[in-house]
Amino acid sequence: MSESADDASIIRVEHVTRTLEGEVPVTLINDVSLDIARGDFVCIMGPSGSGKSSLLYLLGLLDVPTNGRIWIDGEDTTGFDDDRLTDLRLAKLGYVFQFHFLLAEFSVLDNVMLPIRRLGQLSDDAARERAHELLGRFSLGDQHAKRPSQLSGGQRQRVAIARALANDPLVILADEPTGNLDSVSGANVRDILRGLARDMGKTVVAVTHDGNFAAAANRRIGIVDGRVDLSWRPV
């Protein structure tokens, strides 16, 4: 691989390993190399404990590799300090988790505004307008003043997606985004994420155990024992 990422790649990973040090070191990710193109909808799949979420956290700069290099939008993140990683995450990456991690004491609107306020590029009025627009896009405009506890599971996950889109990131990373939802709500979230890639040009990378969810992706990456295994298929 060359010293800089290909223009077509939004994420590029070169020989990445993540090892937890200790009396008995544990290797979570073992010499993984891959490219993810702009606008891809990619699902990462594999057996439980195979390293799927560990890889996603590395791709999302929520963890750093023990060895290897990761490029985001052509930028080599090797050696970035915490502040620089935080700035890059806020500007270019959005996150959706199985458990939405909305702040219970904040309104739905304020939850969506949080990343905008942290990035600090919009006035408070503009941030509020952006949050309202996103909530309306996901049929949540009339829920803006409620607390997360007043919403259904599917609604909370849609709020989490709106929050992930708050700063108009290039990449959305989702860790089992439908794992805590009923089938109808899960299908709705799947369709929303697919639409972000298909209609908005976002790159979506999701970890999932759900074969129906994965079938909606245009690419699937198998992970077994911390390594890419393109032959892996769910049983």
Per residue in 98-151, pLDDT (tens digit) is 777 899 999 999 999 999 999 988 999 999 999 999 999 899 999 999 999 999
| 134 part of a folded domain | yes
| 2 part of a folded domain | no
Q: Is the per-residue pLDDT at 74 higher than 60?
A: yes
CB count in 10 Å sphere of residue 198: 15
Query: What's the pLDDT tens digit per position in 11-43?
Result: 999 999 999 888 888 899 999 999 999 999 999
| 195 part of a folded domain | yes
| Number of domain units in the chain | 1
Q: Which residues pair with 75 in a beta bridge?
A: 72
Closest CA to 114 of 185, 100, 152: 100
| 235 part of a folded domain | no
CATH of the domain at 204: 3.40.50.300
The strand pair at 75-76 and 41-45 is best described as unpaired
- pLDDT-based confidence at residue 6 (cuts at 50, 70, 90): low
The whole domain housing 125 covers 9-228
| 1 part of a folded domain | no
- pLDDT-based confidence at residue 179 (cuts at 50, 70, 90): confident
